[in-house]
Structure 1
Amino acid sequence: MAVAQDLLGPMGYDVLEVSLKGAGNNKVLTVRLERKDEVPISVEELERASRVLEGELDRLDLIQGTYRLEVESPGPDRPLLTPRHFERFAGLKAKVRSPKGNFTGRIEEVGQDSVTFLVDKELRTLKIGEFKANLAEWPETPR
């Protein structure tokens, strides 16, 4: 992830997720990114980021064998990783996975290091970094 962020960050993008799946010659490297200014990312920007990233990955030869690179926008199951992400989508529902259990809840309050969700009329507060969350509903207008 560091290589992708170091390369794409100066271009105005935040790398949200990097995953490598598959084996042998069927590997797929998926990079999910968004614009730092939070404006929806365009297809042209994704293509540009893909070309830049592909060139650097080939130069560094970090992945053995052949692989397919997919650079995409966060999409409807967007990961929520930082306090800013939760603030941006406050009022919407998130799917949460934590050691204390999994649930879907509305993002109610965001602190410096915690998020409070409304789940079945009950508030649950979790510390950021101790759970994983994805957006469970998409806003009507871009945020």
Structure 2
Amino acid sequence: MRKNIEKTVEDLVLPIVEKENFELIDIEYVQEAGHKYLRVYIDKDGGISLNDCKLVSEELSKKLDELDPIKENYFLEVSSPGLDRPLKKDKDFERYKGRDVELKLYKSLDGKKQFEGELLGLFDGIIKIKSDKEVFEFNKKDVSIIRLSVKI
């Protein structure tokens, strides 16, 4: 059901974000603390503003009200993916090549589930990162999340 809702919302929101020259980064339909949330993450060169989020939220809300694909109560949130954005699409791996990333695996590898390093890229489903002059390779399907690392 969750995947169907996310796909339906993607079909509704894509024309909105494309019209505004934004990029659709991700859609999540999740339950947290007893409440359902529909989260839409958008971006553009130079970053997303509060007004950009408001515009997409208002237009998407109208379409959701018309179609009513979600029968239960939920909160709609439209936002930027943030500085520590997860990398999901193949083009994310190309765009952020050379940046520091944090990677978590579903199952441990040599006793570790978390790795950090410089993203070398995605090659035929294999994520490569360099850490302390050593190159690590991970099958994308074995990675629970990979996100940009934020250093303060």
Scaled by the length of structure 1, the TM-score of the pair is 0.77
Q: Equivalents in 1 of 2:73, 2:26: separation in Å?
A: 24
Larger fraction in helix = 2
Code of the aligned partner of 1:95: E
Give, in angstroms, the shift of residue 73 of structure 1. Answer: 0.5
Scaled by the length of structure 2, the TM-score of the pair is 0.73
* Aligned twin of 1:95: 102
Give, in angstroms, the shift of residue 29 of structure 1. Answer: 2.5
* Aligned twin of 1:18: 28
Give, in angstroms, the shift of residue 39 of structure 1. Answer: 4.8
Give, in angstroms, the shift of residue 23 of structure 1. Answer: 5.5
Give, in angstroms, the shift of residue 133 of structure 1. Answer: 0.6
1:69/1:127 CA distance change after superposition, 3 Å? same
Report the count of equivalent residues.
Answer: 135
Would you say the 8 A contact 1:83–1:114 is kept in 2? Answer: no
Matches within 5 A, 1:1-143: 1-11=6-16, 12=18, 13-22=23-32, 26-35=35-44, 38-98=45-105, 99=107, 100=109, 101-131=113-143, 132-137=145-150
For the aligned residue pairs, the C-alpha RMSD in angstroms reads 2.3
Greater shift in the superposed pair: 13-22 or 42-51: 13-22
1:105/1:45 CA distance change after superposition, 3 Å? same
1:84/1:130 CA distance change after superposition, 3 Å? same
Unaligned runs of 5+ in 2: 1-5
Code of the aligned partner of 1:137: V
Q: What percentage of residue pairs aligned between the two structures are identical?
A: 28
Q: Give CA-to-partner distance per residue, 1:108-139, whole Å, 9 cap, x none.
A: 2332422210123311112333312111138x
Give, in angstroms, the shift of residue 69 of structure 1. Answer: 1.3
Would you say the 8 A contact 2:29–2:36 is kept in 1? Answer: no
Code of the aligned partner of 1:72: S
Q: Give CA-to-partner distance per residue, 1:79-113, whole Å, 9 cap, x none.
A: 10122101111111111111232212210233242
